[in-house]
Structure 1
Amino acid sequence: MNPQERPSWRQQSPEVQQQVRQDSEHFRKCLDYLREHSAGEHEGFYGPDSMTWVIYREPVILLGGLRAILLQIAHPAVAIGVAQNSNFRGDLLGRARRTYTAMYQLVFGGLPEAMGAAKRVHSLHSRVNGALPAGAGPQGEGRYRANDPLLQRWVLATLIDGAMEVFETFVRPLSTEEKRRFYEESRLAAAQFGLLPEQMPPTLEAFYAWYHEQLAGDALRVGDTARELAGLLFNSPFTRGQLDELLTAGLLPQRWREAYGLAWGLGQQRAWRLLKGTMRRAINLTPPTLRCVTAWHQAQMRLAQARGARPTVMARVLNTLDSYVDVPFSIRPVAAKTPAADRD
């Protein structure tokens, strides 16, 4: 079903309307949690001392996007929800840009901007629901909804694991303490999805025990819908080619690499080792200030201005460019202010 053809609120069944109201009430509790545990008005949800900023400031994290999507749509209800509600087929690039912009607003935006992004994502997901084919739903259920905690937890889990996997593959190893800090911060990410802390595994170790159980279990399977969506992903004008398949195959667990039919012979394995080593060396030879995403620089500029300091030249240049052209990996241009020291 095309998104434009979906029933309006008044056309939804009373049961669906009631579920949406319950989800909205639950999300208000998540917003309260976000306000209470955010780093600050200018810092946003996480702040500059967080592992979330350390990891997501690296543009290479976006290379895990295809991996995350393939694991997400291995859940049949997620695959059907994407197929029925998303403009995946007609506007893949636009959808990706909107997704990444929202992600950077949530990670690097100030508190008002991040809260606004969380509300918009929840509102969008509230309209995503529909019927499942027989046998596709959890516990035999006949419907799905994007705000279902079971589906939200799975989608978020692929992002948490994927971010750490990509960072360790291309940037540097993470210590156990750093991973624990990042997972603890994921409670804020969970609230953005509409999940309260108690709806997530309590520790990093518990998370991975549950996550690996899901990956090895029977609830996930690559069906026709997932294969169709994967074919669209690998054959768009922006992702067509062996490089995207190689990156995704190298980052996927073996079971899911095979389930999607991604080639992984000796040639691909040698190419993967060469690519991984080359990219890691190039990334580590590039100073962080030159390789960090625009959104991180904009966040640094916002914080500098709030503290009465002068933003860096790189932050000012990228922010100015973003005022005239759509700079990749940005959020929203920060209004320039003259530091107090310069006004005296």
Structure 2
Amino acid sequence: MAPVTMRAFEPLRLRAGQMLFARVAGPEGPRNRALIHNTPGPRWFPPESPIRRVHADSAMFVGGLSALLLQTLHPVAMAAVAAHSGYRGDPWGRLHRTSTFLATTTYGTADSAQAACDRVNAVHAQIQGVTEQGIAYRASDPHLLEWIHIAEVASFLRAHQRFAAQRLTARECDQYVAQMAHLAQALGVPSPPHSLHELRTRLAAYRPELRATPQALDTARYLLLSPPLPVPALPLYAALASNAIALLPPWAAAELHLPRWRRAERWTVRPSGRIITSLIRWAMQVPTEPSRGPVASSSP
């Protein structure tokens, strides 16, 4: 019997890559991908830069979900998201818009990246309201924007260092935080952290403000237990979700009433995360040259 080669799995890889790309990028994904990567012009971030490497790796699938869980813990930010984001009514549309924004700002031309930020700022300028506790909020509030930003940066970086094909050095971690700061400033955060030490300090400074409101707990249950996915995909999502929980700081998991079992995480959860992210990486064929990422994969 002839040995089975990887070429025999190519149709499966292509099909899996197409399905993943369609889920993440939406029906406009191929068109957006072509515009992002093929439009000539200067970019905000050069090839081989840490931000391109982080956003190109499949570890982002775990980091993104972990970031959403962490972000729910700011009561005012959570109230704004619950009232205005439409994440329940159109979860895939929200994912498509977020992934396209991230791809545009990371890999697109400088003009495209700035235009994408300008569009987000215009939307934020229209969003305001009052929480159930009577606290007024604006989506353009720099303090709330900074919380969303640092929760994302910390979660993306933590996931990358745990699951990526190639981890960042300490110096590259600082570079990643600094490059993300450029994006944060374009979105209205006046003084975001520029190093890993500053990021950790800023996270600690927000800690007194953070707690799990009923809205946060409800959102966490939705994200973890009721994802809008077909039944065959649920076991794979469960592995991503369990690893997203394991990435959270212990205090954050406790606030959200999410169980943490260290032995289970070491022997079952983390291995499953490595397997799932490796499978996603294989399916989407993220190249060594990180000019494209999971949100704008090179898969056909």
TM-score using structure 2 length: 0.74
In structure 2, how many angstroms separate the alpha carbons of the residues matched to 1:156 and 1:129?
19
Misfit runs of 4+, over 6 Å: 280-284
Superposed, 1:58-137 pairs within 5 Å as: 58-134=57-133
Tell me the CA shift for residue 72 of structure 1.
0.9
Greater CA drift, 254-263 or 113-122 = 254-263
CA deviations on 1:252-304 (whole Å, 9 max, x unpaired) are 111122222223334455211322444577689x69x9324999349xxxxxx
1:154 matched residue in structure 2: 147
Aligned residues: 250
Gaps of 5+ in 1: 1-40, 136-141, 299-327, 332-344
**8 Å contact from structure 1 (residues 58, 292) kept in 2:** no
Residue from 247, 250, 259 that aligns with 2:246? 250
Where do 1:1-344 residues align within 5 Å? Answer: 42-134=41-133, 142-171=135-164, 172-196=166-190, 199-201=191-193, 203-214=195-206, 217-234=207-224, 235-238=226-229, 242-265=238-261, 266-278=263-275, 290-292=285-287, 296-297=291-292, 329-330=295-296
Give the Cα separation in 2 of the matches to 1:122 and 1:294.
31
CA RMSD, aligned part only?
A: 2.9
TM-aligned CA distance change 1:87 to 1:164, over 3 Å? same
Distance in 2, matches of 1:294 and 1:185, equals 18
What is the rounded CA distance, in whole Å, between the counterparts of 1:281 and 1:109 in structure 2?
Answer: 26
- Other structure's SS at 1:82 match: helix
Q: Distance in 2 between matches of 1:230 and 1:282?
A: 25
**C-alpha contact (below 8 Å) 1:184/1:203 kept by paired residues:** yes
Percent identical pairs in the alignment equals: 23
Q: What SS does the corresponding residue of 2:104 show, helix, strand or coil?
A: helix
Aligned AA (2:242): L
SS of the counterpart of 2:59? helix
**CA deviations over 1:13-71 (Å, ceiling 9, x no partner):** xxxxxxxxxxxxxxxxxxxxxxxxxxxx7232112142111211113313211211111
**CA–CA distance in 1 between the matches of 2:269 and 2:94?**
28
Q: Is the 8 A contact 2:240 2:273 kept in 1?
A: no
Distance, in Å, in 2 between the alignment partners of 1:251 and 1:80 is 24
TM-score by length of 1: 0.65
Structure 2: gaps spanning 5 or more residues: 1-39
Matched letter for residue 108 of structure 1: Y
Give, in angstroms, the shift of residue 109 of structure 1: 0.8
Distance 1:281 1:63 in 2: 12
Query: 1:68-94 deviations in whole A, cap 9, x for unaligned?
Result: 111111000111001110111111111
**CA contact 1:57–1:293 (8 Å) conserved in 2:** no
Letter of the structure 1 residue corresponding to residue 253 of structure 2: R
1:202–1:56 distance in 2 versus 1, CA, 3 Å: closer
